[in-house]
Amino acid sequence: MSDFLNIADFLAPINKNELNFDQGYKEGTIGFNIKVHDEENFPDMDEADLVLIGCGEQRGNGHHLAYSAGPDAIRRQFYQLYFWHQDLRIADLGNLRKGAGLADTYAALRTVVNELINEKKTVIILGGSHDLTLAQYYAYEQNKSIIEVTNVDALIDLNLDSDFRCDNFLMELLTGETELCSSL
């Protein structure tokens, strides 16, 4: 459990009451059943199979000052869904804190994901620009894990002429050969 307390330093708690506008969640919904990192508690990770992490980082797509509220917008809808699989234990660890620089956010995300996969947790990252996929990928690479990747997007992000990492991250993921590797 001590490793999880260390990753908590990278994560900002969430407020379920703000997400549902103080309406509460109906019994049988994900929001009613999910364990969340809030101001008072960090979920018991031994009791979680699936872990959510929000990350609003957008500097990889050229929005240098923006840190999106997208993860909370996703949560608002997700928490309202019916909780079909009662044997699945879900925890929401909150939102990754914005790093001083983009490389800091990548490093924090990689560290958090690495700790969670070391504990055999399935991790879902909510929000952020697509270049965050690299931080997740490098967490698995660090563990020498074989993974399968699915990427759903309007474009294939292989544009090496773009200055924005979100436009060309797939080339690095597929080849591991780019100058950008050093920033992770």
**pLDDT tens string 132-142:** 888 888 888 88
DSSP string, 118-131: HTT-EEEEESS-TT
The residue type of 115 is E
Strand partners of residue 122 = 50
pTM of model > 0.75: yes
DSSP type of residue 181: G
- pLDDT of 182 reads 45
Q: In the structure encoding, which two tokens stand for residue 140, read together? A: 């698995």
Contact 128, 55 (CB under 8 A): yes
Q: At what angle do helices 102-118 and 132-142 cross, to 10 degrees?
A: 40
- pLDDT of 114 reads 93
- pLDDT of 46 reads 93
- pLDDT of 181 reads 42
Q: In the structure encoding, which two tokens stand for residue 73, read together? A: 């917008």
| Domain coordinates in residue numbering, the chain | 2-148
Q: Where are the alpha helices (DSSP H) in the chain?
A: 2-8, 16-19, 30-33, 70-78, 102-118, 132-142, 169-175
- pLDDT of 85 reads 92
The CATH architecture assigned to 2-148 reads 3-Layer(aba) Sandwich (3.40)
Positions in the chain whose pLDDT score sits under 50: 1-2, 178-183
pLDDT in tens, 71-101: 999 999 999 999 999 899 999 999 999 999 8
Strand partners of residue 124 = 52
